[in-house]
Structure 1
Amino acid sequence: MSKPHNMSPYNLVTSLLNLSRFEGSTREFWRLFVRQYAALCHAEQAMLVGCSGGKWGVVQSWVLPEKTWSFDDDLMRIAEAAQKQSIVRVSDLLAVRIDVGPQEDPPVLLMELKAGTHVPEVQTLYFAAGLPSTFQVMRQYGKARSDVVFFAEVLKLLGTIQEDKKFKQAAMRLCNEAAALFKVDQVSLGWSGPYGKQVKVCAISNLETFDQRTNAIWELEAAMEECLDKEGEIIWDHHQKNDELVRAHKAYGAVRSVGHLISVPLRIGSDCVGVLTCEDSKTPFQESDAWKLRLMLEQCVRHLSFLEHRDKWVGEKVRRQFKRTFRTLLGVDKMAYKVAALAGVAVLAFLMFGQWAYKVDGSFALKAEQMVHLSSPIDGLIEEAPVRPGDIVHKGETLLALNTRELLLEQAKAYAKLARYKHEIEKARASYSLADMRIAQSAMDSAQAEVDQIKLRLENTLVKAPYDGVVVEGDLQVKIGAPLRTGETFMKVASLNKLYAEILVNERDIQDITLGQEATITFVGRPELNYRIRLAQIIPQAEVHDGQNVFTVKAELLDPSDDWWRPGMSGVAKIDAGDRSILWLLTHETLDYLRLHFWL
């Protein structure tokens, strides 16, 4: 190639255009680009600088041997300005921003121009500055095209291997096709099987048969086992200095007199089942070769494993299956899932065989065994009502007082009549008139009876408590002055000496309870307190309550009652129905529902 400064402007532009299709290394591309761009601008020297992480540095430079040029703060400021303005010229210094594709800090090409140099047009500078971006696009296109061709070859190889019915035949085809695809001297396949550490060479490209007892085969198997132990790709080159970790590959290379080796493990999931080793005496292997080999083997390994397993006799298959199951259960892989499964089994066993107390729930209300309905003994107006519902009353305490004004007037009249008839009797006795005396005596007796009747009615104007208890119904303080007729119930008083709990049990649970069972009640107003009871009576007739059939169960109190208890208080009762399995406790309601509605 001619020196850039000796080329015509047309040839320089043409040379720059050819760089976009350059097939060499990226470093060589930048070296040529800097020199040719500098030649296009007739620069004496050029420097490509870039910024990474806020720090500027020299990427590539072209400086005449007799000159020195260092990147200082002044040049850095010019480069920063060029990043924003694309092209900056300061005296004989020209800075051009280079397009390398979408990135935050593109590089800048600094060029020192000769005095009086005519710079190409701006469009030409922009065009030439965009060539690196075109170069990258072309490189990516070429790589993509190469990858597509490789993928097509891999799919073709997979299709041919799928037609093989024997493991030996498929392994031989894989080695031959890989040797042709990667253009290497020899490809060997070693197989260890699942969970194995000892590799056995099973196929070598272009060799139908080979002696397993030769030194070369032993060294090859050792190299494959080295790759298997590492569980990763091994690339060895005879120029490699630090090769202590790949001694087996070095030894095999010496035996075979080859300078380049690459070994790639065959994986099924996390298990390595074999190794593919490629050798070549001319071309070193790259990381891209390892990636392509790995991709090819991922497509073929499962079919190879299937054929290898199918070719084994039944006893070997059973042994492998047992070993696989044992290793899966006791291995460290997926430990979280194994712990979760073990925990699930333990929980299931606990649910099936563990016992827990079964409690039948029901609502209860506190009832009094003794309750009196008080009614008015006479007609009258309410004069006084000293108690209200909820008040504690004692035996003989006045609960109701009726107005006595009319009765007292009647009593006064009756006493006046009684006195008059007594006077008439005395008068008849003094006149010895027996008939008049008998008439007066009869009238006096009638007046006395009237007095006694009024006295009894006056006594009945006061209604008193028949026993100690609590007023549960009848608020007469709002009815002072209202009339009350004979026999009309005005108040209910319940005894606090004998209380019991009346429990409503759903018909679904009635078969689980029997007389004599103990239970616990808790009041709505005091849920922190529990009281023991014993079932004493089950009413055999069901009744509808809140849309459900329930049975009434009476229970006697085992714990002494508290002072704040009142008839009618409610809460929740839990009846001890014995121990049941925890699984039954969790599922019996759902199962009963399914059996009832779906006839399961």
Structure 2
Amino acid sequence: MSHDRLRPAATALASELATRLGCEWVAIGFVEDRFCRVVALSHGGIGEGGSDTLKVFGAAMDEALDQAATVVFPQPPDRPPRIVLAHDELLRTRGGGVCTIPIAVGHELVGAVLFQFSEPVSSPAADIADWEHAVALLGPVLYFMRDRERPLRRRMGDRFRQLRARLRAPDNVRWRVGLSAAGVVLAGLLFAPVEYRIGGNARVEGEIQRVLVAPVDGFLKQSLVRPGDRVKVGQVLAELAEQDLQLEHNRWASELAQHENAYAAAMARADRTQLVISQARADEARAQLALVDEQLGRTRIEAPFDGVVIRGDLSQSLGSPVQRGDVLLTVAPRERFRVIVEVDERDIGRVRLGQPGSLALSALPWDTLAVTVARITPMATAVEGRNVFEVEARLDAQPDTLRPGLRGVARIAVGREPLLWAWTHRLVEWLRLGAWSWLGV
């Protein structure tokens, strides 16, 4: 445990075992691609030993792992017989004795420790049992150090092979049948066409919105409604101060009287020149007077139709100056609405007139409203860093709780697509666009 990596830790363990037990060699190996490979020799000898020696050690370890038991060769008379062909091959050139103990983690054999002695193994069964206990305690520690160092793909491959081996076990028939059925169902869900919907933020607006503006320059006299108030056609909504216009009316009325008197005097004198001049000036005064009268009639701002005020709180602006054309109020019908859906530019190509959809409003989350696409705006606008197209939809039914300005989410059914495509097409499109922009293909 004083080492951070597998190889020095395994070498330290092999060296300690060789010193305590008087071994000529101690080798530690782990299963890699179904065969045991030596990862450490006692006293750092893995760098000195040739590949043939390591192969012989590995074959002896495989022989013990295949039998899932400790193999001692030459075999003592008090131990059960084992297959020892690889162990015999190991001792042909080296002589002495050898003992190979498998390393087990859970219910799986993951490696082995090989002890080679210069003399045949004459230790009693109790000593060999002690060696097995030591390997059982220390072997898993090395295995987990090795597992931590391995690449992720190899670890995932091992987990997959372990899972497959467990599923192939005779006592896991129900699991195999269940997983097969789940796989069939999942494949059906992924590849069977389902209704594909595209969505976006939506808002409710009046089908007709009338903006009421200041007809003349002046001052706001009073405001009779606020946003949310229902109004009737012809109802006075606000008034502008008419004092200045009344003074203007009086001025032009006085000038008109003067020009009419001058006209009468010129007619009495038979002065044609003065008669024409007075008549022209009187006509100008009449026109200005008519204009002022018209402006006086416009100081009362009236509702153009039955509806509801959706914008314009003038109660805090009484007495403030207004200029001609300033927006004062916005009125929308009370029972005729439209839905504006913000559709992302990546999805607008799939939207067609007449497609059905549904609308869920934040104020009415317990219910959804059916809508139908009625119009597609051909111009994109930037909203929160992305381009969207405004799609106008018609409500199939309009509940009494609906109000202009409500917001929510709308989804439009644009066809049937496999569920797998619906989940992955964004990523595929992004990769295609990235490949085209990076590689030019």
Q: TM-score, normalised by structure 1?
A: 0.42
CA distance in 1, matches of 2:257, 2:58: 141
Q: Deviations over 1:149-181 (max 9, x none)?
A: 58969999x959959xx9xxxxxxx89721xxx
Aligned CA distance change for structure 1 residues 373 and 529 (closer, same or farther; 3 Å)? same
What displacement does 1:555 show?
A: 0.9
Give yes or no for contact 1:373–1:491 (8 Å, CA) kept in 2.
yes
CA distance in 2, matches of 1:326, 1:387: 78
The runs of 5 or more residues in structure 1 that have no matched partner are 1-143, 167-173, 192-201, 206-265, 272-284, 299-324
Give yes or no for contact 2:18–2:25 (8 Å, CA) kept in 1.
no
What displacement does 1:451 show?
A: 7.4
Aligned to 2:389: 551
Q: Deviations over 1:112-133 (max 9, x none)?
A: xxxxxxxxxxxxxxxxxxxxxx
What displacement does 1:518 show?
A: 0.9
What displacement does 1:597 show?
A: 1.8
The runs of 5 or more residues in structure 2 that have no matched partner are 1-16, 29-52, 64-70, 89-101, 110-122, 137-163
What displacement does 1:342 show?
A: 4.7
Aligned to 2:201: 363
1:481 aligns with 2:319: yes
Aligned CA distance change for structure 1 residues 590 and 347 (closer, same or farther; 3 Å)? farther
Structure 1 SS opposite 2:183 = helix
Equivalent of 2:307 in 440, 455, 469: 469
CA distance in 2, matches of 1:145, 1:458: 115
Aligned to 1:526: 364
CA distance in 2, matches of 1:267, 1:554: 71
What displacement does 1:329 show?
A: 2.3
Give yes or no for contact 1:524–1:571 (8 Å, CA) kept in 2.
yes
What displacement does 1:523 show?
A: 2.0
Aligned CA distance change for structure 1 residues 294 and 151 (closer, same or farther; 3 Å)? farther
Give the residue type in structure 1 aligned to 2:195: A
Aligned to 1:148: 21
CA distance in 2, matches of 1:480, 1:493: 20
Equivalent of 2:242 in 404, 407, 417: 404
Equivalent of 2:170 in 326, 331, 336: 331
Aligned to 2:33: none
Higher relative contact order (CA 8 A, sep 6+): 2
What displacement does 1:562 show?
A: 3.0
CA distance in 2, matches of 1:360, 1:512: 9
Aligned to 2:414: 577
Give yes or no for contact 2:18–2:24 (8 Å, CA) kept in 1.
no
Aligned CA distance change for structure 1 residues 147 and 349 (closer, same or farther; 3 Å)? farther
Aligned to 1:177: 74
Structure 2 SS opposite 1:467 = coil
Structure 1 SS opposite 2:353 = coil
CA distance in 2, matches of 1:161, 1:435: 141
CA distance in 1, matches of 2:73, 2:255: 147
Give yes or no for contact 1:175–1:187 (8 Å, CA) kept in 2.
no
Aligned to 1:459: 297
Higher-Rg member (1/2): 1
Structure 2 SS opposite 1:528 = coil
Q: 1:268-417 counterparts in 2 under 5 A? A: 288=126, 291=129, 329=168, 331-332=170-171, 342=180, 345-346=183-184, 348-405=186-243
Aligned to 2:423: 586
Give the residue type in structure 1 aligned to 2:168: L
Aligned CA distance change for structure 1 residues 525 and 326 (closer, same or farther; 3 Å)? closer
What displacement does 1:388 show?
A: 2.5
Between the two proteins, the alignment pairs up a number of residues equal to 319
What displacement does 1:550 show?
A: 1.9
Aligned to 2:353: 515
What displacement does 1:407 show?
A: 5.1
What displacement does 1:434 show?
A: 11
Computed over aligned residues only, the root mean square deviation of the Cα atoms, in angstroms, reads 5.4
What displacement does 1:464 show?
A: 0.9
Equivalent of 1:492 in 317, 327, 330: 330
Structure 2 SS opposite 1:597 = helix
Give the residue type in structure 2 aligned to 1:579: R
Q: Deviations over 1:12-58 (max 9, x none)?
A: xxxxxxxxxxxxxxxxxxxxxxxxxxxxxxxxxxxxxxxxxxxxxxx
CA distance in 2, matches of 1:154, 1:539: 77
Structure 1 SS opposite 2:200 = strand
Structure 1 SS opposite 2:234 = coil
Give yes or no for contact 2:358–2:371 (8 Å, CA) kept in 1.
yes
Aligned to 2:47: none
Give yes or no for contact 1:510–1:551 (8 Å, CA) kept in 2.
yes
Aligned to 1:596: 433
Q: 1:149-228 counterparts in 2 under 5 A? A: 162=59, 177-178=74-75, 182=76, 184=77, 188-189=81-82
Give the residue type in structure 1 aligned to 2:74: E
Aligned CA distance change for structure 1 residues 409 and 529 (closer, same or farther; 3 Å)? same
Aligned to 1:24: none
Give yes or no for contact 1:385–1:476 (8 Å, CA) kept in 2.
yes
Structure 1 SS opposite 2:126 = helix
CA distance in 1, matches of 2:387, 2:261: 76
More strand as a share of residues: 2
What displacement does 1:499 show?
A: 1.9
Q: Deviations over 1:393-427 (max 9, x none)?
A: 21011022222345556767888999999999xxx
What displacement does 1:581 show?
A: 2.3
Structure 1 SS opposite 2:203 = strand
Q: Deviations over 1:528-587 (max 9, x none)?
A: 331111011222333333222222211111121434411x33221111233332222222
Q: TM-score, normalised by structure 2?
A: 0.54
Aligned CA distance change for structure 1 residues 512 and 461 (closer, same or farther; 3 Å)? closer
What displacement does 1:345 show?
A: 3.1
Give yes or no for contact 1:175–1:188 (8 Å, CA) kept in 2.
no
Structure 2 SS opposite 1:592 = helix
CA distance in 1, matches of 2:78, 2:240: 128
CA distance in 2, matches of 1:380, 1:480: 12
What displacement does 1:495 show?
A: 2.5
CA distance in 1, matches of 2:291, 2:57: 127
Structure 2 SS opposite 1:511 = helix
Q: Deviations over 1:342-381 (max 9, x none)?
A: 5773564244334443221111222333222323344433
Aligned to 1:504: 342
What displacement does 1:459 show?
A: 2.7
Aligned CA distance change for structure 1 residues 421 and 525 (closer, same or farther; 3 Å)? same
CA distance in 2, matches of 1:544, 1:588: 23
Give yes or no for contact 1:176–1:187 (8 Å, CA) kept in 2.
no
Give the residue type in structure 1 aligned to 2:235: E
Aligned to 1:241: none
Give the residue type in structure 2 aligned to 1:148: L
Q: Deviations over 1:47-76 (max 9, x none)?
A: xxxxxxxxxxxxxxxxxxxxxxxxxxxxxx
Aligned CA distance change for structure 1 residues 347 and 380 (closer, same or farther; 3 Å)? same
What displacement does 1:331 show?
A: 0.9
Give yes or no for contact 2:167–2:175 (8 Å, CA) kept in 1.
no
What displacement does 1:491 show?
A: 2.8
